[in-house]
Amino acid sequence: MNTASYALGHLALRVSNLARARAFYVDTLHFTPLLEVPGRVLLNVHGLVIALVGDDPNTEQGDRFSPYRVGLDHLALAVPDQQELATLLEYLTQAGVPNHGIEEDEMTHARYISFYDPDGIAWEFYASPQR
């Protein structure tokens, strides 16, 4: 098996309130809606399909994402350069999205902005260091 030519096909995020999550991803982050059916919304962001999946009866009441559990830590979207990162910081701040400002990764030296969706799912916009 040669996985070298594989790519990420899609992500599915379980959310507690589909309408609230849709508003955040579409209205705030400007992800493009592709398809909406009861209980699911498919979005596109630069060719990556993200499925928002509504609450499930088996989900514990009040459950929220935690980067400290085994599994997903965070999701990161690459941006073209440092200027775009600065523009995104200004936009997120004006849109009222809590964030930690621009930080630098100790290992890769990439600069990034971390923030959370309404369910606490951790996201980053990051720009690789200039070479």
The C-alpha atoms of residue 65 and residue 103 are separated, in whole angstroms, by 22
Q: What is the pLDDT of residue 131?
A: 54
* Structural domains in the chain (count): 2
Asked if residue 99 is part of any domain, the answer here is: yes
Same domain assignment for residues 86 and 51: no
Asked if residue 23 is part of any domain, the answer here is: yes
Q: What is the pLDDT of residues 32-83, one digit of tens each?
A: 999 999 999 999 999 999 999 998 888 888 888 887 888 889 999 999 999 9
Q: Rounded mean pLDDT of 107-124?
A: 95
- At 73, phi and psi to the nearest 5? -95, -55
Asked if residue 68 is part of any domain, the answer here is: no
Same domain assignment for residues 90 and 49: no
Same domain assignment for residues 10 and 46: yes
Same domain assignment for residues 80 and 44: no
The C-alpha atoms of residue 72 and residue 38 are separated, in whole angstroms, by 26
Same domain assignment for residues 2 and 36: yes
Asked if residue 62 is part of any domain, the answer here is: no
The C-alpha atoms of residue 84 and residue 86 are separated, in whole angstroms, by 5
Please give the C-alpha separations between residue 113 and each of 11, 51, 56, 81, 97, in angstroms, as whole numbers: 20, 23, 30, 13, 11
Same domain assignment for residues 47 and 78: no
Structure tokens at 72: 């997903």
CATH of the domain at 43: 3.10.180.10
The C-alpha atoms of residue 117 and residue 111 are separated, in whole angstroms, by 20
Output the CA torsion sign for 70, 119, 114, 126: positive
State which residues form the domain around 43.
1-56
Contact 127, 81 (CB under 8 A): yes
Q: What is the pLDDT of residues 77-108, one digit of tens each?
A: 999 999 999 999 999 999 999 999 999 999 99
